[in-house]
């Protein structure tokens, strides 16, 4: 079984779920976050510039998710966007943005993934990643 990749930098006192602020986390790590009219992606990690660039035309929830994804790229020391790195970044972002207790409470209220994602403040894609990793997908 492959060993898990350890993030390059460690940060203490991080919260999960709706309380997690990826912009604050990026700032603590010395990462600049810029919003620009990029067309090729929702987010780009520029390791040589220690900068995350986020597409400015996205809604706030998508920006927050993209920032968490970019922070993950930085933490893991990724220098390119190969599929393996994208999976790692999605998993990290999902773990940070979704609190398991919040999710369990909401799942008692509704089984609808779209509503769960909306209530949790995450994209449907990151919710699916979280549900798959934790074997909660039906």
Token output for 93: 């972002």
Per-residue pLDDT at 30 exceeds 70: yes
Give 32-75 as a DSSP string: EEEEE--SS-SEEEEGGGTEEEEETTS-HHHHHHHHHHHHHHHH
Distance of CA 13 to the CA centre of its chain: 17
Q: Indicate the pLDDT class of residue 1, thresholds 50, 70 and 90.
A: very low
Give 3-30 as a DSSP string: PPPPPSS--SS---GGG--HHHHHHHTT
Say if CB 29 and CB 76 are below 8 A apart: no
> Please, what are the domains in the chain?
17-133 (3.30.2010)
- pLDDT of 81 reads 86
Q: What is the pLDDT of residues 104-114, one digit of tens each?
A: 999 999 999 99
CA distances from 84 to 23, 94, 109, 130 (A): 24, 15, 34, 16
Which pTM was predicted? 0.88
Question: Higher pLDDT residue, 82 or 8?
Answer: 82
Token output for 35: 């919003």
Mean pLDDT of the chain, nearest integer: 90
Q: Indicate the pLDDT class of residue 58, thresholds 50, 70 and 90.
A: very high
Per-residue pLDDT at 63 exceeds 70: yes
């Amino acid at each position: 079984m492959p060993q898990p990749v350890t993030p390059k930098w460690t940060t203490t006192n991080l919260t999960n779920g709706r309380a997690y602020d990826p912009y604050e986390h990026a700032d603590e790590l010395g990462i600049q976050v810029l919003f620009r009219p990029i067309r090729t992606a929702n987010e780009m990690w520029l390791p040589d510039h220690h900068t995350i660039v986020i597409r400015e035309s996205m809604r706030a929830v998508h920006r927050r998710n993209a920032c968490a994804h970019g922070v993950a790229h930085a933490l893991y020391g990724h220098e390119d966007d190969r599929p393996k790195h994208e999976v790692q970044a999605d998993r990290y972002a999902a773990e940070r943005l979704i609190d398991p207790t919040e999710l369990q409470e909401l799942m008692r209220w509704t089984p609808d993934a779209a509503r769960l994602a909306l209530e949790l403040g995450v994209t449907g894609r990151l919710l699916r990643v979280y549900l798959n990793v934790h074997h909660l997908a039906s």
